[in-house]
Amino acid sequence: MNFKYPPLLVAALCLGFLNASCQNKTLEKVDDPRLNDIKLPPGFVANIFADNVDNARSLALGTNGTVFVGNRTGNKVYALVDADKDGVAEQRYTIAEGMNMPNGVAFRNGSLYIAELDKIWRMDNIEANLATPPERVLVSDSFPSDKQHGWKYLAFGPDGKLYVPIGAPCNLCDNAEQDPRYASIVRMNPDGTKYEVYASGIRNTVGFDWHPISKELWFTDNGADNMGENNPGDELNMASRPGMHFGYPYCHQGDVKDKTYGDRHPCSDFIVPVAKLAPHTAALGMKFYTGKMFPAKYKNSIFIAEHGSWNKKEPIGYRVMFVKLNGNLVESYEPFAEGWMKAGTAWGRPVDVLQLKDGSLLVSDDHANAIYRISYKK
């Protein structure tokens, strides 16, 4: 990203007394040649909404159109502003620093909620105070501190409750027998009260959304490693009520008995996935599309960001998939945006998706440190 001041001058200011000015940056449009590698269906185009957004992870949208960005490997949370609504952010604010894996972000009633490794915080009236962020208010510290699968996703459900996943602190283990918070999705009131486990048997979900008509919770789940090059598949699941169990660690992808824990419970005891996704793709953020910009076939169906495999001999993922639904039945699972993998090497890794008010779709990328905007023109 190019800035309005020469790089050497900016570096000098960052080392001096104007350090705060380096946290909030004025951004300029970027024409990245790598965009030519991203393949989309006819009529769709991609542009850089913002780059130089370190480790861009989970996304949330404010009332005024501010895009909030979480961060897993760093300690900051960002806010991006596209004031002229041209599909490119002009300003990047650093609204929180010194946090512990602040991956998850969610917005409700003027407040931004941020998930650290073991805590949830709230920042009130945030959109009016991006340059001088308010103090954080602790919402809950009722979470384990395990780092493996410990980063959180956040979203508010139609019931007004805050939903938070707690991943298994391992590849394969049965910690939930001792502590039911593990391998689950929990929910609570916005103030942190009435904390409860909503769904269990979920190895690691970093993305979920609610069906726009039925209001049922849908979520991705990452399959276990070291069970084979093509086994098990990641999952797309649907929880229609509290108390459902989705099989982990006893059963994988709905029909594969675990060698260590499978004798404790048969696969028939658990909820089967709505769809088996490709194996080891690291299916993360997902959203139902409800906008009017895209063609009708995309309405009320799902976009999934696949982060990409990390130890597969033949890499897979590094794309955004489209899941076409007919009610609660999956009609197709097909690539929508791909090309972040080139000549066997990934130059980008999609993490989350977010629909903007105009119906365009944002995609975050924690490898290229960028956020893309996908729009449609007839």
Q: What is the pLDDT of residues 290-311, one digit of tens each?
A: 999 999 999 999 999 999 998 8
What separation in angstroms does the CA of 341 have from each of 6, 37, 229, 354, 368?
Answer: 33, 9, 19, 22, 12
Res 9 pLDDT > 80: no
Which two three-digit tokens encode residue 241? Answer: 């009520």
Residue 143: pLDDT band (50, 70, 90) is very high
Q: Where are the domains of the chain?
A: 32-56+113-376
Nearest 5°: phi and psi at 45? -135, 155
What average pLDDT is seen over the chain? Answer: 93
DSSP 7: H
Name the percent of the chain lying above pLDDT 70. Answer: 94
pLDDT in tens, 319-371: 999 999 998 899 999 999 999 999 889 999 999 999 999 999 999 999 999 99
Bridge pairing between strands 208-210 and 155-156: unpaired
Q: Report the C-alpha gap between 274 and 271 in whole angstroms.
A: 9
Across 149-176, average pLDDT: 96
Res 256 pLDDT > 80: yes
Taking alpha carbons only, the member of 70, 84, 43, 19 closest to residue 284 is 70
Fold exhibited by the domain 32-56+113-376: Neuraminidase (2.120.10)
What separation in angstroms does the CA of 96 have from each of 69, 89, 354, 365?
Answer: 11, 19, 21, 20
Average the pLDDT over each of 174-183, 202-211, 243-252, 319-328 and give the range with the smallest value. 174-183
Q: Report the C-alpha gap between 100 and 112 in whole angstroms.
A: 17
pLDDT for 177: 84
Question: How many CB atoms within 10 Å of residue 118?
Answer: 18
pLDDT for 370: 97
pLDDT for 20: 42
pLDDT for 313: 86
Res 174 pLDDT > 90: yes
What number of H helices and E strands is found in the chain?
1, 30
pLDDT for 22: 54
Res 251 pLDDT > 50: yes
Enumerate the β-bridge partners of residue 45. Answer: 375
pLDDT for 326: 92
Question: How many CB atoms within 10 Å of residue 332?
Answer: 13
DSSP 15: H
Q: What angle do CA 339, 361, 100 make, to 5 degrees?
A: 85
3-class DSSP state for residue 47? strand
Q: Exposure of 263 by Cβ count < 10 A (0-12 exposed, 13-18 middle, 19+ buried)?
A: exposed
pLDDT for 378: 75
pLDDT for 52: 93
Average the pLDDT over each of 16-25, 94-103, 119-128 and give the range with the smallest value. 16-25
Res 70 pLDDT > 70: yes
Query: Looking at the whole model, is its pTM more than 0.85?
Result: yes
pLDDT for 6: 37
